[in-house]
Chains A and B, each alone.
Chain A
Amino acid sequence: MTPFPLDLATQFGKPVMYLVFLLIGFAFGYTLEISGFNKSTLLAGQFYFRDSRVIKVMFTAIITAMVLIFLATGLGLLDYNLIWVPPTYLWPGIVGGLIMGVGFILGGFCPGTSLVSAATFKLDGIAFVAGGLFGVFLFSETEKFYDAFFNGSYYGRLTLMDVFHISTGQAVLLVLVMALGLFWVAEKLEQRYGGKAPSTGSKPRYAAWFGTLALGLVVLTIGQPTNIDKWNRIAAEKEALLKERAVQISPAELLTSIADDQLRVIMLDVRSERDYNLFHIHGARRVDGDNMLAIAEELLIDPKIGETVIVLMSNDEAAATEAWKILVAEEVPNVYILEGGINEWLSIFAVDDPNITPKDGPVGDDELRYNFSIALGDNCEAADPFIHEWELEFEPKIKLEKKRGPTAGGCG
């Protein structure tokens, strides 16, 4: 497990967490103010090539944070899976962005800068904030009319690496080169239209640019940890859990959990399609064992993942255990394995089913130990046992843990 991000609420309590966010906000407001972002004419000057402060500050901030983030993830201090990457809703994003641009050039601010402007008593900033509050009201009252559009063209946690099929280090370098190019253009435009002298004394500036580029190359060189690297880091601790059988839940506990209305259970069946079609537990979803990284990504952006139990199952336990390792290494919380797999489940719940009979002779590990007269799927009682017909005793092992890191951005 990476030491960061911290789980502030659990480790230190909510007041401390709120204090940290207040301090972060304070530093955010302070740096926006010293950057001149409380003055609308300076902000708008960007769009007339007079003053490129906005581009310079924004892109310097982006590349500074980006390089440090991916150094930290590369060194194993921080897990990229646990930081908030805004999910992509392509068209609402683009349309919203185009609308924001109109508001920017008319009003002279964006929401963050307008708060700083209002806090320093600029009357136009206060007017923008008032309008901004009304804008939220307007959106919330009309959202129901374009709900489908607002929730459409959803691509999940889509990154530049996914879009361009490049590594994280390459994406970092790409953004760095683009930003430095923008700075160069901005300087030239300022000299031409803003009447600014070619910057003198810019040695520290060049040093900073080359320093950032060098750090970008370091990010590219050290790379990002693979799933196997992540597993190796936690293997000792997690292998012990497997050995103590702390994460293998009995069929009885699974059935009880499914029947519990208060608990959300996601069952992932990692067996072959053939076995799944012969029999699977009602509500279980078949996933490909080779595809677990994508499944991890999908689970991690589920906003209710901290209140959900994930149960993996194979015929015995081998394939389910491999899938468990992948999910756990990716920091998916509350993942369990069905003890004894589907074979064990059938040995309890399928005793009376004439269509399901034990195989004769030896059966390999993690293979079905039953014959099926027809492909049952989940069309039989054993797939969806009625809990009150069974006297179930088990040692409960499920302990819900919240996911570390945010489950939503600051935009809700």
Chain B
Amino acid sequence: MKLNLKIWRQKGPKSEGKIVDYTVDHVDEDMSFLEMLDVLNQDLIVKGEDPVAFDHDCREGICGMCSMVINGRPHGPWERTTTCQLHMRAFKDGETVFIEPFRANAFPVLKDLAVDRSSFDRIIQAGGYISVNTGNAVDANSIPIDKETADTAFDAATCIGCGACVAACKNASAMLFTSAKVAHLNMLPQGEPERAKRTVQMVAQMDKEGFGACTNTGACEAECPKGISITNIARMNREYFKATITGSK
């Protein structure tokens, strides 16, 4: 099939970007979206043009690198699917497809569709860790955790940190990401020692990075490729309230 692409092209972080029209032919419906871009880039290289820069790594839906907004939706039209797992059968022959980078002040564009998401790394550095004593490895399952808590913490831990929540949010808020990390670690006994400090510091870092505030639109939850629930945001709000009331600072 043949597609008309409208792709955001931007030479560098400081340059002005614009939407450029491309036509890509011989697209197979079994190709992934990234393979379709590979085909386009091959055409561009042959023509001596600059290929479209985009992030990708594992191409099996677990690394969270492939960041692009397709027809206004982060990771495209399929629910709970990353761009690399989105297949071209989701599109019709002759369709026009908008491809843009994740847009947020805290995610500056590096080039074309590739954005700098190191603001997420700094949020993790602010409190997304636990204290573990060195020495012999402890026996597996030596800390009793009830099944429901373990499952809920695990659901939060499935966040791959792709940033689709920020890209989808009209406020470019990082509350879903941050709350998933806070929930994952705060719910488990291993995360207990830093519980209050973690919540306050991660939220402070999130604000410092220039993400917007949450207005509970739920767009993040709808677009999250891992189906992270906004119940985590309510949980983080509780944790934050508790931490600021009882905390020493």
Partners in one complex: no
B residues neighboring A (CB under 8 Å): none
